[in-house]
Amino acid sequence: MLSWESPLWLLALIVLPLLRLLHWINNRKAAIPVSSLLFWRTSGAVSQPFWQGAKVDPIWLLRAMIFGAMILALAGPVWVNHDQRKVRVWFDDSYSLQTTESASNQSRLALAIDALINKLQEVESIQAKVYSLRNPGYMPLLLDTQNKSDWRQQLSNWVTSQSESESPPLAGQPMVNVETWLVTDGADPELTQAIKALPIHQIIRVGNETENGAVTLLGARPSLQKFDIWQGIIRVNHFGDSGSNRTIELWYGNQMREQWQVRMVPEQSREVGFTVEYAQTNPAPLMVRLTPTDSLQEDDQLSLSFPLPTSTRIHGNCPATLMAAINVHPFLRTDGVNDEQAGLDIVCGDIAVEGAGAILRFHQADGVQKIDTAPVWSEFAGALGDLRLPPHLMRQVRSSADNRHGTAVLLSDSIPLITLATATHSVVDCYIDMGYEEFARQAEYPVLFAGLVDLATGRSHLSPIAVIARKVEASRVKPLPLSLADANPEDVLQTASRDLAAYLIFLAMLLLLVDAVLERTRRTESRQP
């Protein structure tokens, strides 16, 4: 397709008839003296008007072409190839696209797909590559005019909702030399800042809803007095321009335990506490939900599963003091545990044990030895590193199969008292005499045993904090003002254009050279007798 950068210069072409007149007048004035007119034929063209000349002078045509080429060059002719328009589309897959618009009773996601398809169909031939706004690594979708009838189905299958995505919008993607569109609802504050510095050429925007409430946090932990009682906290947020009356419901399994009537005001965050009894056998999930539902139903509830007790097998003859510590541990289940279910094997002695779970081995004494220097924890002790053990109340065991291996966790006089090996699964070896009654009467004894269980299993049992939360800003649905950077689609479309002015200038110069040669030849011939 041919376009002109300065089309007003084309008006200068009306001067061509004037040049033809001047050329005709100049030819009439030309007189060639001869000795006789005998044998000359009378020329009828001399008496004809200039526009009815029987024969067109090639010199005139040459100069008309020179003048025309210069005028066309000044008009800036550009050949633009619009065979297929290529567009990069950033599709907003933020959580707010799940919002249901009350006016149409459709989600913003469905409205965005419709709006994009309608915009693409306005172009006769187009190839659009659709990228995820929040997940640049997600496989892009190619939409081509040839499969126009499949666009809706392809977009519906491709698009996803990134509710917990931490990636900033438009992260790490070059956006140069490509016409770029953005499909969004404009509810993400990060996006409104990002597009100010990026060459977005066109925005396709959907959504008008402004109000939304969300459950943004649910957390719980065992009570310090009773481990079968859990205490927790619920956080709800409200966004928009007006307040709302909501009901917070706390469900344990299929039973509603508590509910609170709250009045939420714009931009408010509110927390409520609760207490719930925990059933260690077949514990049910804990769920919080807001009623009635609003425009974004997906963030009106959160569900939390309690950590299950660790299934534990006991091997060997453990001393009574150690068995007492095992039995009172609230998160070790020892009844009816088979080999496949065991997550922890507690071994007393040097018995060989096979299992897929962790192993906590307490070596039994063929002899004991006093510990003279204060034990020192290594960097691998974790939370146990804060426990101070009294050396005068502890004994070190010596067994016939004393082959201490693994990484030292606790040492005394460079001798490992506790080791940790993690080749296939965690194995903790304890060389402290856990049957020593004077040590068992100390407060450090149950703390040491609980810490060894945590070290072997890799989880905290006595202070588990179960938390589930969602990103607060992801629940904003109010569209924000969007301002584009200074981006012109023509800047990227010129990559498919060709400037013809240079070719016309070269043609004019070449014709001028031909005209000069012909004029010189003509004058030379006129001087000859």
Q: Which pLDDT belongs to residue 339?
A: 62
Q: How far apart are CA 435 and CA 365, in angstroms?
A: 9
Q: Which pLDDT belongs to residue 288?
A: 95
CB 211 within 8 A of CB 240: yes
For residue 479, how many other CB atoms are within 10 A of its CB? 20
What is the three-class DSSP state of 12?
Answer: helix
Q: Which pLDDT belongs to residue 45?
A: 47
Strand 332-333 relative to strand 344-348, pairing: unpaired
pLDDT digits (tens, 9 = 90+) for 161-209: 554 444 555 545 555 567 889 999 988 888 777 777 777 888 899 999 9
Is 0.85 topped by the overall pTM? Answer: no
The first and second tokens of residue 434, run together, are: 């856990």
Q: Which pLDDT belongs to residue 83?
A: 61
Helix and strand element counts for the chain (H, E): 10, 28
Q: b vs e for 318-355, b when ≥16 Cβ sit within 10 Å of the residue's Cβ?
A: bbebbeebbeebebbbbeebeeeebbbbbbbeeeeeeb
Those residues of the chain that have pLDDT short of 70 are 1, 23-32, 37-57, 80-84, 160-177, 280-282, 337-341, 399-402, 484-497, 525-529
Q: How far apart are CA 417 and CA 389, in angstroms?
A: 12
pLDDT digits (tens, 9 = 90+) for 472-514: 888 889 998 887 655 444 454 444 567 888 888 888 889 888 8
CB 296 within 8 A of CB 98: yes
Q: b vs e for 24-41, b when ≥16 Cβ sit within 10 Å of the residue's Cβ?
A: beeeeeeeeeeeeeeeee
Q: Which pLDDT belongs to residue 25?
A: 66
